[in-house]
Amino acid sequence: MVIFGGGGDLTKRLVVPALYNLSRNGLLPEQFAVLSVDGADIGVETWLNNLHASMKSFVATRNIELQLQELDDKAWSRLTDSMHYVAGDFLAEDTYRNLAEQLPRLASQYGIAPNVLFYLATPERFFGEIIDRLGAAGLADEASVGGWRRVVIEKPFGHDLASAMSLNARIGKVLREDQIFRIDHFLGKETVQNILAFRFANGLFEPSWNRDRIDHVQITAAETVGVEGRGAFYEQTGCLRDMVPNHLFQLLAMVAMEAPSSFDAEAIRQRKAEVIEAIRPIEPADAVRGQYGAGAVNQTLSRAYRDEPNVSPESATETYVALKVNVDTWRWAGVPFYLRTGKHMGRRTTEIAIRFKSAPIASFRSSGVDAFGPDWLVLQIQPDEGISLQFDVKKPGPKMALAPVRMDFKYADWFPSESNVGYETLLYDCMLGDATLFQRADMVEACWKAVQPILEAWAKSPAMDFPNYASGSAGPSAADTLLAIGHGHAWRPLGQPLLPYGSRRKAVRDAEAARSETAAVKTATRRRKVKTDKAGEPDQASAKSAAESTPKRTRAAKPSA
């Protein structure tokens, strides 16, 4: 595995931790080596020390993504013993001549067949340049080397439709489509892959998975973090380019695709491509943009986006996007898909929420019930991976009254927790040549085609109201209007999920008990004060009576989630 940009942040935070997890779980091949290519002339020892310090910091800070309790030194050593480093400019021919010499030497040293996975963990501007030079040096030619050669390309794949088409054409001159793995780490998450299993392995839900039963779908990817020092990158990219054509559209495709004829890569990718190609080009009127101002996230004061390092004080770059998307297929005609994503929001969550149509109210007209609560099926991607189903039941009592309840499945309740950054499955699939979770050229171009009208409109008319949502909020008010107009829909709250009815009643009882206790204490205190004022000092009997009338303080039970 050759990592271009081995000294960068992506390699440190995601690629190497994923390789470590594969090593720890015995999923790396016995004959395996890593060669890092980076511009910094630091040497392999310094590079490995930096990686080790980074891994130790993940353990010390209980990194949310890595979920490491401790570092397995044996697994780490097994990985690092096969890791090497070469300094080289990505644009210099000498770098590729050096690679051509190093690869056969490492293959001989470790007994590896001439199979190489090139990973482009670099800024987008180097993608085409690196692949051109790999081709010129003969490093991508499988016929001449006698083994397979594959290339992993990170996002963003282009910055608009024209650039994506140009990049596809450029790399297509060097590589076949089956050699190209356009990676999206969202698709490496277990709960994303579970969407297909949930839909197609259970006969209960798929018959209702259509416009006859589903009212609308909400897909949310909310982050509490800001740009975290990546101001220069984000100024050129923005939230729409960073999240929508890849992450959110991929989730949409998994939800909306037809059943594949089989679970091989091409059958699944073809079904997903059909969905993306059926997305109606999104009109600017169906898009809302936002930029965070100052506020508080998780009770911590947060600065505005324009105050971030390397960000213009007049920046018109969006940090929030909400879209109304129409998928023009027979299954989904007339069902709106609402997508939203943003930074510095009130809660970190990624979920797909499917709202079912309400049942007819006619049977309940004489009972006093005049409306039903919403029926939701929620696929929770992160942080609490699982599935929940919300529906109405009758409240206990003589009258016909309804209450919403929820059934929950959580991965953590059924399966052991494993350290996973989302790249493990993807890297493993790359080594196997399984492209199921990766985008084809036509899929990438279809994604950009859908958002191109928005990109053009926003470029011509920069936002005049930024910042338009406070850090720690749910986004700009215009996003609420987007759902309300026409359909009368509303976003699901980003706060705590539905509290079970019994827990709500218990919470109310606890609150009432606490208030009664406080009132009793105040009353007893006043009585003691009155007796003291009258007699100068209370007698022992009065003091004892007052003490006995004061209930002991007890902690109210915490309501269950």
By annotation, the residues acting in catalysis are 247
Residue corresponding to tokens 């040293």 = 109
Q: Which residues contact 537 (CB under 8 A, 6 or more apart)?
A: none
Whole-angstrom distance, CA of residue 177 vs CA of residue 154: 15
Q: Which residues contact 445 (CB under 8 A, 6 or more apart)?
A: 161, 164, 165, 168
Whole-angstrom distance, CA of residue 234 vs CA of residue 212: 41
Its sign, for the CA torsion 224, 229, 233, 236, is positive
Q: Which residues contact 349 (CB under 8 A, 6 or more apart)?
A: 220, 222, 380, 382, 383, 494
Helices 190-200 and 249-256, packing angle to 10 deg: 20
Angle CA 132–137–140, to nearest 5: 70
Whole-angstrom distance, CA of residue 188 vs CA of residue 193: 7
Whole-angstrom distance, CA of residue 172 vs CA of residue 166: 10
At 479 the three-state DSSP class reads helix
Neighbours of 337 (CB within 10 A): 22
Alpha helices in 25-72 (DSSP H): 43-60
Classify residue 349 by burial, with Cβ atoms within 10 Å: 0-12, 13-18, 19+: buried
Given a contact cutoff of 8 angstroms between Cβ atoms, the answer to whether 221 and 350 are in contact is: yes
Neighbours of 414 (CB within 10 A): 8
Whole-angstrom distance, CA of residue 126 vs CA of residue 133: 11
Given a contact cutoff of 8 angstroms between Cβ atoms, the answer to whether 17 and 66 are in contact is: yes
Whole-angstrom distance, CA of residue 51 vs CA of residue 84: 13
